[in-house]
Structure 1
Amino acid sequence: MKIQALLTALALSFTVAFAADPVQAISKNDKELQTLLKKKSLSKKDNERVKGLLSDVFNFKLLAEKSLPKETWSGLDEASKTAFATEFQRMVRNSSAKRLEMYRTDSTIYEAPKMKKNNTEANVTAHLWYKGKESVLVYKMSLVDGVWMAWDLVIDDLSTARNYKEQFATILKTKTFADLLEIVKKKADESEE
């Protein structure tokens, strides 16, 4: 049993040591996104790729979990958690793709990642400049199966997860989880048009 535990620990440390740098996970997608955003107009295929790039680096299940009050999330069965995460991802992807202006940059500088929890969590800070104005983004990331995935995006000190959590908590004071799921689904549908 001790040998198995040692081998597992070695395998985990090997994975962490050779996992892609969290900055690379962000910057790789950003380069392709910026290339697409420089086009005069985007085709339907380009728009779908933009949606993919905006969400490929995100762990939407964890973001969905962090966006609900703990007691709500823990009280859900797996099917409800999956349904919420799926609709939440659609809503965020579709609404983000409609607000492309906020993703355009003239230049971006990434700070070295701030590593946490045995190098399985990191914060990556990006300084973005567009038309002379700077914005600061912090990606809160976790290592998931050897891949760095973001679960929160803090834009100029405003946390995406915290913002949704406050909105959803307010809704859940007067409505059920099923009502909330319908609201999220409706917003996803509206922003898809």
Structure 2
Amino acid sequence: MKNKSGYWLFCAAFFGLMLMLASVSHALASAVTDGLKTTIDRVINVVTDAKYKGDPQARRAKLRGIIHPKFDYIEMGKRSLARNWRDLSPQERRDFIDLFGQLLENSYAKKIESYQNEEIKYVDEVIKGKYAMVKTEIVRKNDVIGVDYKLIQNGNEWQVYDFIVEGVSLIRNYRSQFNKIIVKESFAELMKKLGKKVKDLEAGTANDKDEI
């Protein structure tokens, strides 16, 4: 009888622990999606705010202020340059991250400015250690666009380090372009092209494609 009692106590403790771990995992997963959703909601609020319609520069500045804390530009920069990152000096790395960050902010802002009351669904999330993916869908009248956000945990924050739009990775796309420019021309030429792209985006004269 004593052994049976101990067995059932062990089972109760074990299942209690499993329930607690499941609860913690769910809370962590929710925190990842909720944090991303909060940022996207804030961005949409700015885009749809009537007071910014006549002042696109103020709107873009407001959007950058919201977007910046949610992006891990260092991680994005390293992944976009891949092996070329190793060849850069500390100053070159800082200069690249600064310029690449401006490019990403302006590119994302330009895309989101075309928002026209589409529904955004948060359909799934996967967490593996310090990495996570949040799957979303942009529902339009005639089609659905899948957008997956890849995030990395930095301290208590989850930051985006890649987007996958309809199966195409933003960082992989940039990596291919950057490597071609560096190999055929030079890193200095890449920086020159990035600078021009940023200026064109800020002036509203660049298209919204992820091309340099």
1:74–1:104 Cα change, 3 Å: farther
Amino acid across the alignment from 2:137: H
* Most deviating of 29-38 and 104-113: 104-113
Corresponding residue for residue 29 of structure 1: 39
CA contact (8 A) 1:20 1:148 kept: no
2-structure distance, mates of 1:184, 1:163: 14
Of 93, 96, 103, the residue aligned with 1:84 is 96
Amino acid across the alignment from 2:45: T
Query: Structure 2 length as normaliser, TM-score?
Result: 0.74
Corresponding residue for residue 99 of structure 1: 111
Corresponding residue for residue 57 of structure 1: 70
Q: In the alignment, does 2:202 pair up with 1:154?
A: no
Q: How far does residue 104 in structure 1 lie from its aligned partner after superposition?
A: 4.4
* Most deviating of 148-157 and 101-110: 101-110
Q: How far does residue 68 in structure 1 lie from its aligned partner after superposition?
A: 1.0
Corresponding residue for residue 20 of structure 2: none
Q: How far does residue 63 in structure 1 lie from its aligned partner after superposition?
A: 0.7
CA contact (8 A) 2:124 2:136 kept: no
Greater Rg over alpha carbons, structure? 2
Post-superposition Cα deviations, 1:122-161, rounded to whole Å, max 9, x if no partner, equal 0110112133421111111100121000100001111000
* Most deviating of 83-92 and 170-179: 170-179
Corresponding residue for residue 184 of structure 2: 174
Q: In the alignment, does 2:92 pair up with 1:75?
A: no
1:160–1:178 Cα change, 3 Å: same
Q: How far does residue 55 in structure 1 lie from its aligned partner after superposition?
A: 3.9
The ranges of structure 1 where at least 4 consecutive aligned residues each deviate by more than 6 angstroms after the TM superposition are 17-20
1:42–1:122 Cα change, 3 Å: farther
Instruction: Point out which structure has higher relative CO (alpha carbons under 8 A, 6+ apart).
Output: 1
Of 119, 123, 128, the residue aligned with 1:111 is 123
2-structure distance, mates of 1:150, 1:105: 23
Corresponding residue for residue 145 of structure 2: 135
Length, aligned pairs only? 175
Corresponding residue for residue 7 of structure 1: none
* Most deviating of 40-49 and 145-154: 40-49
Amino acid across the alignment from 1:142: I
2-structure distance, mates of 1:124, 1:34: 18
Corresponding residue for residue 47 of structure 1: 60
* Percentage of matched positions with identical amino acids: 22
Corresponding residue for residue 5 of structure 1: none
Corresponding residue for residue 3 of structure 1: none
CA contact (8 A) 1:34 1:104 kept: no
3-state secondary structure, aligned to 2:146: strand
- Structure 2: which 5+ runs fail to align? 1-26, 204-212
